[in-house]
Amino acid sequence: MTISSSMNAGVLGLAANANRLATISDNIANSSTHGYRRVETDFHSMVIGSGGGTYSAGGVRTTNHRMIDMAGSVISTSNPTDLAVDGRGMLPVARYLGHDSVQNGTEMLLTTTGAFRMDKDGYLVTESGLVLLGWPASKDGTIPTFPRDTSDGLKPIRIEAQQLAGEPTTKISFAANLPATDTDPSGNGDARTISIEYFDNLGKAENLKVEFRPVLGEDTHSNTWEMVIKDSASNNNETGKCKIEFNDDRENGRSLKSVTAVEGTSGGAYDPTTGSLSISVAGGPIDITIGKLGESRGLTQKSDKFTPAAIDKDGSPVGNMTSMVQIDGAGNVYATYDTGESRLIYQIPLVDLPNRNGLTSYNNQTYAPSKDSGRFFLWNAGDGPTGQILPNALEESTADVAAELTKMIQTQRSYSSNAKVIQTANEILQETTNIIR
């Protein structure tokens, strides 16, 4: 029984070392595979109960586990859509089988790096057939609120290079100084004018002509102006009109004292809480911020100089995409257009799980959540426990060829020794047989 157990232990030793050699060969073969996580083989003894002064060899068994939580080194590339993760977190991807497959739903897989390129349909895919997933942005360039414990909100990232971009103007703010001397009784009453470009619902450029007409005082400065807004889209008809009065005391001098809409006009209602007034142009309402009461920002009145200081507005004309998309560390995907506008079109989250080594492994360095990995959560890159997304970067394999070759030598020696055990046990059994003869 003891000799037979020795032979059985030797056979198990051969099988265990053959298993270890398989993982070593896999690691060496993938030493240049981007994102590959090495596999380790652990040996575990098997004990058979002994009694009566004899000992029975139990042998050995092995278990294999992939070291998914150990990251490889990051190398730089020239492609902005080559992505790697700096720290904790994994990129959401899906198997790409063509345009129809992504339209009919996808199963989320995870990877740590990928060389993504646009295919003929505009999807960001790898040569191994993985499509990158992300949350699509709304038309206003913001990311809606999506659930974080499910992949339902994720969509394959598609860059429509022929798509035109353009947004209507809804908000304008400007600052200007009106000369106090213009409201003097001796003033000439000439209007001061600012022209502001805006974009209508079709992306066409129009202009607002803002006229400041001084109200001349009878004995001294009146500090009062009439602001008239004309819209080029409406044949330069008045679209807003209000009366503006400035403070002239020592504490609040130069700042707005009151803004009153002129009765009978279609626009110019002033909101003191926001410092803006609302007008209606041909394409819809526009809020124009001129400053809050008592503050020296926006419109002011001092000295004898008319000085338009700043104009800021939203909206953009229609433009074509001019370059490849850009991805920042937070996972925001931007498209750049020939108008100079850069628009947010997707956000790539990072997926985190309690036990990454419990993920189920698939081909092409992809993984899927399992009961051993725990439930996943979608984080904004850089938030919580996650790191940042690195563009122009790929993660190297975690397999160290020198270390694997050392293990291979050890495995070869161990395999030979186990084979010698079997040979010796066989010779002893042969000698036992010869005694009987």
Q: Summarize pLDDT for 42-63 with one digit per residue, the tens.
A: 999 888 876 667 878 888 999 9
Inter-axis angle of helices 401-436 and 2-29, nearest 10: 160
For residue 336, name the pLDDT band (cuts at 50, 70, 90). Answer: confident
Looking at residue 161, its pLDDT comes to: 66
| Res 139: pLDDT | 78
Whether residue 349 has pLDDT greater than 90: yes
Instruction: Say yes or no to pLDDT of 267 above 80.
Output: no
Mean pLDDT of 388-405: 95
Query: What pLDDT, on a 0 to 100 scale, did the predictor assign at position 162?
Result: 60
The answer, yes or no, to whether residue 101 has pLDDT greater than 60, is no
pLDDT value of residue 182: 92
pLDDT score for 117? 93
Q: Report the pLDDT averaged over residues 124-153.
A: 91
Between CA 1 and CA 432 the distance in angstroms is: 13
Average pLDDT for 187-201 = 91
| pLDDT average, residue stretch 402-414 | 94
Q: 322 vs 75, which has greater pLDDT?
A: 75
Q: For a pLDDT cut of 90, what percent of the chain falls above it?
A: 62
- Both tokens of 243, joined, read 């009366």
pLDDT for 164: 58
Q: By the 8 A CB rule, do 191 and 215 touch?
A: no
Mean pLDDT, rounded, for 183-199 = 91
Question: Is the predicted pLDDT of residue 114 greater than 80, yes or no?
Answer: yes
- Mean pLDDT, rounded, for 95-108: 68
pLDDT of residue 99: 55
- Average pLDDT on 184-210 reads 90
Q: What is the pLDDT of residue 8?
A: 87
Rounded mean pLDDT of 79-93? 95
Q: Give the span between the Cα atoms of 21 and 404, in whole angstroms.
A: 10
Render pLDDT for 226-241 as a digit per residue (tens, 0 to 9): 999 999 998 888 888 8
Residue-level pLDDT at 252? 83
Q: Which CATH architecture has domain 169-314?
A: Sandwich (2.60)
CA–CA gap between residue 97 and residue 416 (Å, rounded)? 47
Summary mean pLDDT of the chain: 89
Q: 169 with 313: CB under 8 angstroms?
A: yes
What average pLDDT does this structure show over 75-80?
94
Asked if pLDDT for residue 256 goes beyond 90, the answer is yes
CA dist 273 and 294 (Å) reads: 12
pLDDT, tens digit, for every residue of 118-128? 888 889 999 99
Residue bearing the bigger pLDDT, 262 or 25: 25
What average pLDDT does range 254-272 have in this prediction?
82
Per the CB < 8 A criterion, the answer to whether 89 and 388 are in contact is no
Q: Which sequence spans correspond to the domains of the chain?
A: 2-67+398-436, 79-159+348-395, 169-314
Mean pLDDT on 154-160: 88
- pLDDT value of position 108: 92
Q: Which residues contact 350 (CB under 8 A, 6 or more apart)?
A: 85, 88, 89, 90, 91, 331, 378, 379, 380, 381, 386, 387, 389
| Per-residue confidence (pLDDT) for residue 140, from 0 to 100 | 75
In three-state secondary structure terms, 351 is: strand
Confirm if 428 and 2 have CB atoms less than 8 A apart.
Answer: no
End-to-end CA distance of the chain: 20
Residue 309's pLDDT is what? 87
pTM here is: 0.71
Instruction: Look at residue 264 and tell me whether its pLDDT is greater than 90.
Output: no
